[in-house]
Amino acid sequence: MKAIIYIVCTFLSIFFFWELAVRLANPPPYILPTPYSVLVAFKENSLLIYEHSIVTIVEVLIGLTIGIILGMITALTLEIFVTARLILRPLLIFSQSIPVFAVAPLLTLWLGYGILSKVVMAILIIYFPVTSAFHDGLSQTPKRYLDLAKTMRGTNRRNLLYLKIPHSIPSLCSGIKLASVYAPIGAVIGEWVGSSQGLGYLMILANGRVKTDLMFASLFTLGILSITLFGLISYLLQISLSKYLKA
């Protein structure tokens, strides 16, 4: 409840200073609309925003699910096989040096304007944070635990299942939280490049028609969806982690 109050107060502060800046600078509405005009645009286009929000939410959830699973599998592979670390780690680092805006047009060209290219874009953005966070947790298992397991003749498989994975759960949760923030960015970038649905498409459409108020309404909708997704995933992870620690 406290978090909700803080979020509401933050948004109210933003709207206050925004309104103050508009009144002092008095820019044209197509440059910077007032908060009230954005609220009016949101109300008048609520059904349109809702329809495009559903598309973006579906893209984000699918991309988030697949990206987390692939990231976990990759992290486990890196921890188990030394050869995989030598081959895959440089490729992962190299993939992060490529701007996502450079990849998005290629994905649209290869996979089309449908949902698939946006899902893949979301996967590409969240894949590295999950892999990196989970692998860091696996590789940072306290040496004294591993030494104790070695004296008790613990196999690599049992060490992984009963020592490394349990110790890395908090790191994995941190990676998943980061992924929940990055996933909407990936989906929207894909929609910007080529799409006929989604909040990113609606922003481009509103911008092309000089409907800045609608563009801001779409942007704030995306922000609210991202905050909601992050809060929901954080809550679910907290419950799951508490039950895991009690088990």
DSSP 162: I
**Superfamily grouping for domain 33-246:** MetI-like (1.10.3720.10)
How far is 54 from 197, CA to CA, in rounded Å?
9
pLDDT in tens, 186-216: 899 989 888 889 999 999 999 888 899 999 9
pLDDT for 12: 83
Residues 6+ apart with CB under 8 A from 25: 32
Q: Where do the domains of the chain lie? A: 1-30, 33-246
Model-level pTM greater than 0.85?
yes
pLDDT for 216: 93
Of 11, 59, 68, 55, nearest in space to 216 by CA: 11
pLDDT for 19: 85
pLDDT for 24: 87
The DSSP annotation for 11-32 comes to HHHHHHHHHHHHHHH---TTTS
Q: Which residues of the chain have pLDDT under 50?
A: none
